Structure 1
């Protein structure tokens, strides 16, 4: 057997834990260390990961640990600088979505990794979820004929912990259409297999009027073929502990509906209502596919490339501009390709 791929995890927040859990299940991956600017967080995460090394300086760490690849789980605005350090060191990368908070920065990341012949993937984890794969496969198999319209609704009751959280700081997250909305925008575009041409976004601030970002979004996308899509997302629903997901696809030959999914099973008990996850982890499928691309193995499924991440940033950025202006945004097709 070949040596396992040596992976560094950059950042130690909640989402890093999901990636670490996936890597632990893959014998061809070895977590060689965790990097975080906060020494306390880095040390705690390294201990939870089985006592791996930790560091606060990325460049020194990837050299000392002979890293082959890295998963980046840091605030969105930091991705371009971290990505450049990785590319300059010859390290492949899986970068949490969005790839960057501007199309220009995302395009530059893609260029740097392509010029060096390195694998760059954007962590659009929903693409690896069973529900998303099922919808995609049904459309590819011709279940609805030529798809004409898609709608995805993803509603949840959680909002970020407090006013210090970077996700609600527009300068760091890029806004909610970029931070979370890209998941839905990426999915509907993938399902329809079409080129987006125009977009309109409507948003509300339900949790607090002083939010810098919109915690409710309704985004409509038009495509070159005449097809359309609607993406509805909320992070301010009540009750907070229950999520809701619905998918609808209409084609010229049929209709596809996923009326309730909720990412698992609902459990009611004396301690309240909670979701019990069901099905394989999309993080595991994502890590397996990314590592196969890093090693140059034959891929069993379609990878999410850096260019995929760039296309999602173009859409998310357009949604944020539409929210700011209240107008329809016309997309440059070459930028969204």
Structure 2
């Protein structure tokens, strides 16, 4: 028998008509998704799931005694559950997402989609068969800077992209040495856990298929780390373009870090030097300053997912989530081998033994 707690049923007609969302895993990142739900019309939180009853209970009380359960299977039977957000450790994604899809529910899953190409491909195929919306939460696509760069390139402001550089450099943000994020068997490695943001952005911005990567990693915070907390990842595109991505959790700059980006096109250049500053676009016809980032990327992402559930064009397709996994896996292989890895050769095997699949999380 599952352990659960229930509070009153939704009373307003508008709430029953909204997309009812269940959050699985009530760790760090769940709060950002709950805040996004609260600010998004047409979406309502109907309950949470976590494998730890004490943790789920505490989370429920802190959010107005929201309904909770320790069993995902139970939550999927709730009549007002239309969709699920997965906020659990990376190695649990495949099994949990497949369970949600089998129940016919739409699913937004924290990046990466999975820790292996094979699992990600099977998830995409299952979602297509069940005709449900599967989206990976690559939130950087939905921040102002991500959308602005995409828009400028898509509008032809820079011409054809030929070179890009994106760096996100930050300090240690993981809770302790026992954190699953720094266990390669559970996270898939830093390229899949954090570096995948940058890999996905560059592929999306350039609107060209990456064909190979070459990467190197360093253990900056400590040689005892199982993962590389600094990554330098070079992407080669079928268009002939090249992009260099740097991701660090070992830089002593404090906080989540600074962002630097450069995109060089045949007709112009886009540059942004600091996370809090606006960017500069220089082309033969004009020079323009871009606004600093202001929007809530999680809320923008949630609205896009809800729109896709309602029949709109997905802002990020399941296939793009699969591509991001393929890129992350290829980067990890390149670091291990010291060689360039073609995406078609990226391994399809899981990153370690999955073991049990708890519906809980401490994401960062």
TM-score, normalization by structure 2: 0.84
Relative distance call for 1:158 and 1:217 in structure 2 (3 A) is same
Look up the match of 2:197. Answer: 183
- In structure 2, the residue matched to 1:79 is 93
Q: Which residue of the partner structure matches residue 3 of structure 2?
A: none
In the alignment, structure 1 residue 135 sits paired with structure 2 residue 149: yes
* CA distance in structure 1 between the aligned counterparts of 2:157 and 2:273, rounded to whole angstroms: 17
Q: Which residue of 2 aligns with 1:274?
A: none
User: 1:304 is matched with which residue?
Assistant: 316
Which consecutive segments of 4 or more residues in structure 1 shift more than 3 A? none
**2:277 aligned with 1:246, yes or no?**
no
* Cα distance in 2 between the residues matched to 1:198 and 1:121: 24
For 1:1-337, what aligned pairs fall within 5 Å after superposition?
3-241=17-255, 243-262=257-276, 279-296=294-311, 298-299=312-313, 303-332=315-344
- The count of aligned residue pairs is 321
**Residue 158 of structure 1: CA displacement?**
2.3
Alpha-carbon distance in structure 2 between the residues aligned to 1:10 and 1:123 = 14
Q: Which moved more, 1:155-164 or 1:130-139?
A: 155-164
Q: Distance in 1 between matches of 2:229 and 2:274?
A: 21
Match of 1:267 in 2: none
**Aligned pair in 2 of structure 1 residues 48, 305: CA closer, same or farther (>3 Å)?**
farther
Quote the Cα distance in structure 1 between the aligned partners of 2:256 and 2:21.
Answer: 34
Partner SS for 2:77: helix
Deviations, residues 135-154 of structure 1 (Å, cap 9, x unaligned): 11111121211110111010
Q: Render the CA deviation track for 1:267-295: whole Å, top value 9, x for unaligned.
A: xxxxxxxxxx9612000000011011112
Secondary structure, in 3 states, of the residue corresponding to 1:63?
coil
Q: Is the 8 A contact 2:144 2:293 kept in 1?
A: no
**Does the residue aligned with 1:230 lie in a helix, a strand or coil?**
strand
Q: Distance in 1 between matches of 2:72 and 2:62?
A: 20
Query: What secondary structure, in the 3-state scheme, does the structure 1 residue paired with 2:178 have?
Result: coil
Alignment-derived partner of residue 271 in structure 1: none
Residue 36 of structure 1 contacts residue 55 of structure 1 at CA under 8 Å; is this kept in 2?
yes
Quick one: distance in 1 between partners of 2:345 and 2:339?
A: 18
More displaced stretch, 59-68 vs 7-16: 59-68
Query: CA 1:284–1:160 in structure 2 vs 1: closer, same or farther (change >3 Å)?
Result: same
Indicate if the aligned counterparts of 1:197 and 1:330 stay in contact, CA closer than 8 A: yes
Q: Is the 8 A contact 1:20 1:49 kept in 2?
A: no
Q: Given the superposition, is the C-alpha separation of residues 29 and 334 from structure 1 closer, same or farther in structure 2, using an over 3 Å criterion? A: same
Structure 1 residues 263 and 155: CA distance shift in structure 2, 3 A? farther
User: Is the 8 Å Cα contact of residues 98 and 182 (structure 1) preserved in structure 2?
Assistant: yes
Cα offsets for 1:168-213 (capped at 9, x unmatched): 0111100000001110000011111111111111100011111111
Deviation at 1:16, TM superposition (A): 0.8
